[in-house]
Structure 1
């Protein structure tokens, strides 16, 4: 009876050792692989970059400081470059909202807070982007991880008359 338990223990140990050896990379595998680049957790390497999580929900105004809607999504190409922003327009609290896609390079991003439509502000301040209508400048926001809002040169009616954007399934 003891020999049955000893045999079972030896077989179990051999199976465990075999599994552990199979998981250990061998020397030839290590020679063919390169070490991954060291990741940095410091913000200094990414200073001036914007967080995509903060871009979604960003308010969009026009040149006359009328609120057009907010960014609902960002569309990237296969290389990771942002090609378009999906903007939710119309509706009330998301009900009846319509989605339109606008070229990302047509948006200007502003650091300074927008003011009411009677004042000035949404079209002023430090902007950045690749819009052809205004030169791009460096962001000087107090929070370098996202701008205050975006500006798109269109009226609310023009934006609402654009083709509706629908996600294909």
Structure 2
């Protein structure tokens, strides 16, 4: 049953790309008006964008997801993702503790300490490979200050930025 919508999406995407490529080719072969000596050459048309199709069961957003310990303790929820200058995901910011937003604090955990085993539904949680005591002892995350990232097994490499 799910194959039909996915197939239809692929067909529509390919048709759109084909139409864009055809239009770009027609624009390139159309006669050009004479140019004055001071006019700049027109920019080449941009190539059509690439298209990647990800199945609905294969990828999900993580912001706002509940985080649980391996022993099913509530560890908070993911509120942000930290990337380095190369665009590599390095860590997640977790809003931990408190009740209804009162008394909570943000901590940063190594991305590799998170396990995304079954997150097919928004109600599914992500597992954090740390204990509640380790997370409680972690320093609080504050923007515009050095980030202390809590790693599961000490394997985290420090972020190195050129100034």
Q: Same fold (TM over 0.5)?
A: yes
Distance 2:40 2:59 in 1: 39
For 1:46, the equivalent position in structure 2 comes to 54
Q: Secondary structure of 2:42's match?
A: helix
Distance 1:147 1:28 in 2: 55
Distance 1:150 1:63 in 2: 10
What value does the CA root-mean-square deviation take over the aligned residues?
A: 2.5
For 2:128, the equivalent position in structure 1 comes to 152
Question: Is 1:88 paired with 2:99?
Answer: no
For 1:98, the equivalent position in structure 2 comes to 105
Q: Report if the CA contact (8 A) 1:109-1:147 is conserved.
A: no
Distance 1:147 1:74 in 2: 19
| Aligned equivalent of 2:70, options 42, 63, 67 | 63
Gaps of 5+ in 2: 1-38, 146-163
After superposition, residues 1-169 of structure 1 pair within 5 angstroms as 28-30=41-43, 33-38=44-49, 40=51, 45-47=53-55, 48-50=58-60, 54-111=61-118, 141=120, 148-168=124-144
Deviation at 1:36, TM superposition (A): 3.5
Q: Report if the CA contact (8 A) 1:60-1:150 is conserved.
A: yes
Distance 1:79 1:37 in 2: 24
Q: Under a length normalisation based on structure 2, what TM-score does the superposition of the two structures give?
A: 0.55
Q: Report if the CA contact (8 A) 1:68-1:156 is conserved.
A: yes
Q: Report if the CA contact (8 A) 2:65-2:77 is conserved.
A: yes
Q: Secondary structure of 1:46's match?
A: coil
If asked which structure has higher relative contact order (CA below 8 Å, sep 6+), I would say 1
Gaps of 5+ in 1: 1-25, 113-140
String of CA shifts for 1:32-88, please: whole Å, max 9, x gaps: x35143364xxx6233343xxx31110010111111111111111223221100011
String of CA shifts for 1:11-33, please: whole Å, max 9, x gaps: xxxxxxxxxxxxxxx78223xx3
Q: Secondary structure of 1:57's match?
A: coil
Larger radius of gyration, structure 1 or 2?
Answer: 1
